[in-house]
Structure 1
Amino acid sequence: MAAVETHKSSSAAAALICFAALVFISSTAATALVESSSSSSGTIGVNWGTLASHTHRLSPSTIVNLLKDNKIHKVKLFDADPSSLEALMGSGIQVMVGIPNEMLSLLASSPPTADMWVRQNLSRYITGLGPKSSAADIRYVAVGNEPFLTSYSGQFQSYVLPAMVNLQQAMVRANLQSIVKLVVPCNADAYEANVPSQGAFRPELTQIMTDLVQFLNSNGSPFIVNIYPFLSLYGNSDFPQDYAFFEGSSHPVTDGQNVYYNAFDGNFDTLVAALNRIGFGQMPIVIGEVGWPTDGAVSANLTAARVFNQGLINHVLGNKGTPLRPGVPPMDVYLFSLLDEEAKSVLPGNFERHWGIFSFDGQAKYPLNLGMGNRFLKNAKEVMYLPSRWCVANPSRDLSAVANHMKLACSLADCTTLNFGGSCNGIGAKGNISYAFNSYYQLQKQNSQSCDFDGLGLVTFLDPSIGDCRFLVGISDIGGSFRAQPPPILSCLSVSVVALWMYIYVVLS
């Protein structure tokens, strides 16, 4: 992968009414569509990323239990982390493991390295650590992650197919070729068009993509693509906002006899046309990443994320398909992502750290029906938190010399919610200082010295969270204090909306 307006009190009631109506419509549709989708060929999985600090990272076993409790049967990893794979063994969850782009050159040039990678990251978990019932159910290996991305300027693209050839031969030698399939998650910028039916791969990629798709097809692998309507909206001020969602658009795209009312279908069919142009119009397609962030940008919030993700799920599991593939949804769709990752790069934007349908501690951010049999997301269980204390700006001290302390705190800890478009953008100067201090304090496992800041910091036992701005308490990795109730995630407004959503569900059930 790759401005908050002031909320005046006079608009709060209107906003609540509008949002309540939106939730009502979305929730009713979710129940009707998702529960009627048992025969759908599409399946919802999740991406599990691990770019988080130790105080913001759940144990792999807790995450696997979270997946199982939510009946999520498919997960996509970005590497082959041993602790994650060991936790997934015997879970019955189907797994896609990843190979970072930086490894492609070595794998492309060295068959022995490919053999070693297969032994260490596939054979070990599929055949080598006990009876078959306790094996990891690894189905795919993602060779690179968006290696053809325009911003990479071609540095990885020549290594992809040679690496796949070496890995495929290594899997044949390990007798895994019928179990595990090689795939390449591609960014949607690999293809282009003015309208979907004109879809074509970028000229410099045409031969590479033709060879890649031939390889995928010969080995029974799908084409994997990452589609992000949010990024289209975020990067283009002229992009129609309603076209990013699934509730219909006042700015549809007309392409001959086909009319597109949402960006997802338009993007998907552009890929279908591009595949057809190289002779593989029936190629199975998997959505490797798709989602909506909840913070860090004007259009990144809980409301938009829930409406987008629920609309996507209803659309896929409702067997709607697209104009070029009517009644044929993607094989699988992996939501991005399972959890927030506060150590991710913010070069694409501050929203990068806030894609999770769960917060870092495994608490559901909003009601979401995944179509797996649960009406709601279920929270992680037995999460071990650090004690309920926070670091804030000392109200008795002159804070005029605080700038360097804030800069240091935010260079190490995550302060993205303080920026323009973030949920903590409007909490004032002292609030900003306190948020930065606390973020650093939690990162340092609440070490008392980490709240000193030359006497400008003060430890408090009163939660300083303000409205939607949540002051976090970190997770303990050494069995700290168990807290049955996590720090509050939702504001009063959000709680009201959730209560309304639950009321609607009870009445309509």
Structure 2
Amino acid sequence: MLNAVTLLFFSTFVFLASADANQIGICHGRVGDNLPSPHAASLLLKSNGISKARLFLPDPAILSAFNATNTELIIGVPNENLTYLASSDANIAQNWLKSNIFSFVSPDHVRYLVVGNEVLYKDTFYSQYLVPAINNLYNALQILGLDKKIKLSSAHASSVLSSSYPPSAGAFDQQFLSVLVPMLQFLNQTGSPFMVNTYPFFSYINDPTNVPLSYALLGPDAVPVKDGDLVYTNLFDATIDAIVAAMEREGFKGIPVVVTETGWPTAGHMVATKENAAIYNGKIVERVRSGVGTPRQPGVPVEVYLFDLYDENLKSGGEFEKHFGIFSLDGSKLYNIDLN
């Protein structure tokens, strides 16, 4: 979903504080030329009770701004850094971490390092470097005594699946297995999550005949989909369970799934409205807070990051790409949604 980012245009995820183990998050994209400053954004987060943030790039100004407010951070390692990190060793990776991250933020404020974003979808050149880079960074964290505190993973597009219907038939695309299987081994051994970006909005607009709007929106009148003994009432749950089934198909059971991006736009398409965005994001918040889990994994909390904090006027692609914001630039909400 995310377009290529540069050092000038970067993205940040923010978690919403809640009594429910902080499972709900917001993605703060910065692909725009009219966005509030990092300092202003940090004040907005604080005023809304938001205590955690994820940065797509380790930008010094952003790290410093959120470090000053003791924000717990989830920091991305850019795709373009994977080649260097993969060809280095643990000591060089350690120096990279110190120079790019720990010089600007305390390790105590870092929760995850997300190594690469949608590499297998949009930056396949870097795919061969993904797991080696993760391993070197993990070894560096071990040297620093931080491997138990800071977890490593990578965010994938849901297109890593070649099959997702029904969810129990979930399977990874064969062409990605040479990367995914070693990664799953790493996640399993280190207790780290599998991260996925999923957008029922795109599934609907790309195939409205087979994806009913209500099923994409988590609507109450969605026609249930049966998968053996399990019943699905929305595409969100079905996608997560398809990922779980795909991991189990490769022999990995129990790896948690973190939804690193999901959301609904408010303009740029006939179903991209504030009303639909309020329905979708509101239902996601309700489900996560309830801890209901999914049909395949009932009662297992799902960590979710809503996209996006602001609209981003420089996003490429369809017009709707620019309109995922939940907040306006002055800090007011674009639509009614309970985030506290």
Query: Normalising by structure 2, what TM-score?
Result: 0.89
Q: Which runs of 5+ in 2 are unaligned?
A: 3-17
Match of 2:41 in 1: 63
Mapping for residues 284-433 of structure 1, pairs under 5 Å: 284-330=256-302, 332-346=303-317, 349-370=318-339, 372=340
- After TM superposition, give the deviation of residue 120 of structure 1 in Å: 1.7
Mapping of residues 359-508 of structure 1, within 5 Å: 359-370=328-339, 372=340
Task: Select which of 267, 273, 276 maps to 2:248.
Answer: 276
Q: Whole-Å Cα distance in 1 between the matches of residues 22 and 144 of structure 2? A: 30
Distance in 2, matches of 1:109 and 1:84, equals 28
Q: Which residue of 1 aligns with 2:25?
A: 45
Q: Does 1:102 align with 2:71?
A: no
1:329 and 1:113 mapped to 2: Cα distance? 36
Q: How far off its partner does 1:113 sit?
A: 4.8
Q: Distance in 2 between matches of 1:175 and 1:44?
A: 28
SS in structure 2 at match of 1:141: strand
Moved more, 110-119 or 158-167: 110-119
**Contact 1:123 1:174 (8 Å CA) reproduced:** no
Letter in 1 for 2:55: L
Select 2:66's aligned residue among 77, 88, 92: 88
Identity of aligned residues (%): 39
Q: What code does the residue aligned with 1:237 have?
A: P
- Structure having the higher strand fraction is 2
How much is the aligned-residue C-alpha RMSD, in angstroms?
1.9
- Asked if 1 retains the 8 angstrom alpha-carbon contact of 2:169 and 2:242, the reply is yes
Contact 2:60–2:104 under 8 Å retained in 1: no
The 1-side partners of 2:45 and 2:291 are apart by 24
Equivalence for 1:202: 173
Residue 322 of structure 1 aligns to a residue in which SS?
A: coil
* CA deviation string 1:370-415 (max 9, x = no partner): 2x3xxxxxxxxxxxxxxxxxxxxxxxxxxxxxxxxxxxxxxxxxxx
1:42, distance to aligned residue in structure 2 (A): 5.8
Match of 1:124 among 91, 103, 107: 103
Q: Deviations over 1:466-505 (max 9, x none)?
A: xxxxxxxxxxxxxxxxxxxxxxxxxxxxxxxxxxxxxxxx
Q: 1:202 to 1:74 in 2, by over 3 A?
A: same
Change (3 A) 1:244 1:234: same
SS in 2 for 1:312: helix
Return the TM-score normalized by structure 1. Answer: 0.60
Distance 1:90 1:218, change over 3 A: farther
Q: Give the alignment partner of residue 170 of structure 1, picking from 140, 164, 168.
A: 140
Distance in 1 between the 2:105 and 2:144 partners?
11
How many residue pairs get aligned? The number is: 322
Which protein has the larger Cα radius of gyration, Structure 1 or Structure 2?
1
What is the distance in 2 between the residues matched to 1:269 and 1:178? 27
Counterpart residue identity of residue 224, structure 1 = M
Runs of 4+ in structure 1 off by over 4 angstroms are none
Shift of 1:51: 1.4
Provide the C-alpha distance between the structure 1 equivalents of 2:96 and 2:182, rounded to a whole number of angstroms. Answer: 24
What letter corresponds to residue 101 of structure 2 in structure 1? L
Give the drift of 1:241: 0.6
Distance 1:126 1:88 in 2: 8
Deviation at 1:341, TM superposition (A): 1.4
Match of 2:228 in 1: 256
